[in-house]
Amino acid sequence: MTVHKPASASTMCHHGALRHSIAAVAARTQEDTMRRQSRRHFLGSSAAVGGVGLLAACAPGSDSGASDGGGSGPAASDVETDPAAMGEITLKVWDQEVRGAQNDAIESLVDAFEKAYPNITVDRVKQSFDDLQQQSGLALSGNDVPDVLQVNNARGDMGEFVKAGQLTDLTGYAEAYGWEDRFPTSVLSKARYSADGVTFGEGPLWGLPQTGEVCGIYYSAKKLKALGAKPPTTWDEVYALVEAAQEAGELPIKLGNLEQWPALHLFGPLQADFVTAETIVPLAMGNAGADWTSEENLAALTRLADWASSGALGDSPNGLAYDTAWAEYTEGSGVLLIGGSWLGPDMGAVMGEDLRFMAPPAGVDGTIATTGGTGLPFAIPAKAANADAAAAYIDHLTSDTAMELIAEAGGMPVLRTAELAPASGVNKDIYEAFDAVSNDGELLPYLDYATPTFADTAGAALQQVIGGESEPAAAAEELQTDYGDFTAEG
């Protein structure tokens, strides 16, 4: 998860209310891990080297202070993938999976890993997102680092750590474990940076996520039926539905934008109807080559302004808090709510089968494209003492049956999502939407990834457009100034 929500990636994703039996899946996870990780990838002459000696020899990070960034990582041929051959190890793990169901899932996975490999003890330290973010920077700049660390993948965190040479390049591990084959390209791109930290979304892999997120369209099935409407299949049908709702005296789109950032989750999906994914990606990842003042971006901002001025977003969306807005939606205020998948469990608990979710219709380039992302990726610090064991643990956390465990515990796994979807309910819709977008469409980056200051810039600019305090063209200039100044720095 990334900082696309206010200062904390963990504050809005509520999965704690959905708990299921974990023991059975934990057993399957253990069996799966032993089966998959027993194979070795000693592809070169290093096959004869003992596990502990090889681990020490291959531990990345010897040049972690290099000015060109990017902690070195081993080649696939030098990776030991059998934890049983690594000797007695205490694996230090820092994560922020502190909430009920998420914590339960991690604990079960840890238990299965330790049972499969009694030679490895997992010393897990869990802490809030904010605490982890503070501690990570301090730890990575010193010598006492964890072996596995969840890292926010935005530029201000993972990007800076890569630039400083404080994370391990996982390219060799990805080849050894087949991560490139298991994970969709659009998912892995959220944890890729060039070795110098300049280019986001391309280059070496620096982390691997467990869970997914997607922004889409929530709708009330009852309200659509009352309007004589069906779920929209094109953006033109979305616009027609908004007009029909207004004519019927209904609030078309519920939005609480007091905190400014919620508008990004509405505008991001909308933007894809006007701007190609190929253009949105560099804009959102802060890579040079695009322009916020383009005719297409101006058209998207104008549509947002028109919705606001017509009352389609409510009388005063900028004065309504995010949590208040979605709570009011569950009580019948609004036909649509365009927002993130993390809202589904809480809203569904109130609305039941009336609450539905869909990925936005195909964008201007003919494919489904919408804002989304992943949970915080699990990374390996460049100075980690047990890098091979850390990679084996990360592989275990993202194994097929680990995805099953996450789903049964109430989270949304980043892999096998449609397959593991519930039989009914809004989470079924959400899982299937994420699967369709991440595998067949384009999971667009959160817009506030772009620069260290873009969350504030974009939040304020969109709030002003919604409030009628700024014209779309002026907002586009503000966005371009922040993005342009940052990309010009190289």
pLDDT band of 69, cuts 50, 70, 90: low
Question: How many residues in total does the chain contain?
Answer: 490
Q: Which residue has the tokens 């304020």?
A: 460
Q: How far apart (Å, rounded) are the C-alpha atoms in residues 87 and 462?
A: 55
Nearest CA to 446 out of 159, 185, 214 is that of: 214
**Kind and range of the H or E element at 263?**
helix 262-271
User: What pLDDT digit, counting tens, does each position of 260-277 carry?
Assistant: 999 999 999 999 999 999
Q: Which residue has the tokens 């003042």?
A: 293
- CATH 3.40.190.10 positions along the chain are 23-211+375-416, 213-373+440-488
pLDDT band at 72 (very low <50, low <70, confident <90, very high): confident
For 139-167, write each residue's pLDDT tens digit.
999 989 999 999 999 888 999 999 999 99
Nearest to 111 by CA among 36, 31, 37, 30: 30
Instruction: For the domain covering 23-211+375-416, report its CATH number.
Output: 3.40.190.10
> What CA–CA distance (Å, rounded) separates 22 from 405?
7
Q: What is the structure's pLDDT at 43?
A: 28
Task: Kindly write down the DSSP assignment for every residue of 269-304, as one continuous string.
Answer: HHHTTTS-HHHHHHHHHT-SS--TTSHHHHHHHHHH
Mean pLDDT of 292-317: 98
Architecture of the domain defined by 213-373+440-488? 3-Layer(aba) Sandwich (3.40)
Q: Following DSSP, what letter does each residue of 355-390 receive, concatenated?
A: EEEEPPPP-TTSS-EEEEEESPPEE-BTT-S-HHHH
From CA 100, how far away is CA 112, in angstroms rounded? 18
Q: With both helix axes pointing from N to C terminus, report the angle between 23-37 and 400-408 in degrees, rounded to the nearest 10.
A: 170
Q: Does residue 489 have a pLDDT over 60? A: yes
pTM of the model: 0.82
Residue 126: strand pairing partners? 95
- Give the CA angle between residues 215, 217, 219 to the nearest 5°: 145
Residue 229 CA, distance from chain mean position: 32
